[in-house]
Structure 1
């Protein structure tokens, strides 16, 4: 059987540095999935997973523990873990550099929902989405709402109200968004530099129809819309 997949070894040395310098990354609630930090436990978990992965044609490096990616935006780790039943394994996770703080905005202009037609690199195609973005260091949520609307739609927010918060993909990352409903006085041009190609406006009734028919695939847009509708803020 040929070996498939990347042979790149995770950076274990950097991983141990993070254990010392950012211990909060490795804190866990009791009774959940435990991160193993003892050298012997880590070796045992990695060896077990490597054996399983070899049977799938994957290289030994696919079970290596450490830092997989580290840049200005994300930190990707592969941890050795003990599951609640006592079994050992590995688990990947994505940690956002900004502490996973972000906003998603359901914008309304003259009673219509303002959507963005965005090309998403990760899936290789266009989606209709609501504006969203990360909270920059030192900024408040409301400041981020104003900035994202201005940058992504060229619009101006007159009022904004907090709808709630939701995690995005808890199987892999710590990312979460605070959702807002924003009333706009205008919109301008989309932000082509971010892959935003067009601004599309639909009525709340049309948006609900798009959700039901599968045309609306942006989870954040659906979340924000449902929160707003449950609060009686959109028909």
Structure 2
């Protein structure tokens, strides 16, 4: 493989959530400009209630101009915020539930072609109901689903959010592995 050398990184726009850069790179003697989007990171949580149902949030996503069904998630408040802290906060803010047990499930990079965003995903169990703490511009509905229902939605193309698809599939594999042991 040809080595890739970054010659320059230029900030084009500093946004509220992401920063957009133009990277000048050299590949195989050729020079090109590639887009790069920096994100400080995020955390997400797959909450499973005491009946084995998965709590999902339905919220409006401007980029898609529609409501989506997702696991609770949010960006880190600071680049060095522990993702476990962020996941715990987002679970309570978006669903009103607190977890008696929360454990690491997996990490994903959402779009490796242009983003450096990393999302650590946690599994939350032993849930107790509390109060939602939504941001002023958030409108979220909490819905409960069986794992099989969510898997059907994934394979029908109805559930496309990458962190949600990855979390649901990782959870299903985890359950399967525990079942055959």
TM superposition score category, shorter chain reference: 0.7 to 0.9
**Following TM superposition, by how much is the alpha carbon of 1:163 offset from its aligned partner in structure 2, in angstroms?**
1.0
Per-residue displacement from partner, 1:88-134 (whole Å, max 9, x unpaired)? 211011112x3x3x211111112111111111111211110111112
CA distance in 2, matches of 1:189, 1:69: 33
CA distance in 1, matches of 2:81, 2:140: 27
CA distance in 1, matches of 2:158, 2:48: 19
Residues 186/158 of structure 1: CA separation in 2 closer, same or farther (3 Å cut)? same
Q: 1:170 aligns with which of 112, 117, 125?
A: 112
Q: 2:12 aligns with which of 46, 52, 68?
A: 68
CA distance in 1, matches of 2:3, 2:74: 30
CA distance in 2, matches of 1:218, 1:114: 15
**Following TM superposition, by how much is the alpha carbon of 1:190 offset from its aligned partner in structure 2, in angstroms?**
7.3
The residue that corresponds to 2:21 in the other structure is 77
Gaps of 5+ in 1: 1-29, 38-64
In the TM superposition, 1:60-209 aligns within 5 A as 66-83=10-27, 85-96=28-39, 98=40, 100=41, 102-109=42-49, 110-137=51-78, 139-183=81-125, 184-186=127-129, 188-189=131-132, 191=134, 193-209=136-152
1:231 counterpart SS class: helix
- TM-score, length basis structure 1: 0.67
Per-residue displacement from partner, 1:42-100 (whole Å, max 9, x unpaired)? xxxxxxxxxxxxxxxxxxxxxxx8321114432211121112x322211011112x3x3
1:229 counterpart SS class: helix
- What is the aligned residue count? 175
The residue that corresponds to 2:159 in the other structure is 216
Q: Which has the higher contact order (CA 8 A, sep 6+)?
A: 2
- TM-score, length basis structure 2: 0.85
Structure possessing the higher radius of gyration over alpha carbons: 1
Instruction: Return the structure number with greater helix share.
Output: 1
1:217 counterpart SS class: coil
Q: Provide the alpha-carbon RMSD of the alignment.
A: 2.4
Gaps of 5+ in 2: none
* Contact 1:211–1:222 (8 Å) recurs in 2: yes
Q: 2:7 aligns with which of 32, 36, 60?
A: 36
* Contact 2:54–2:144 (8 Å) recurs in 1: yes
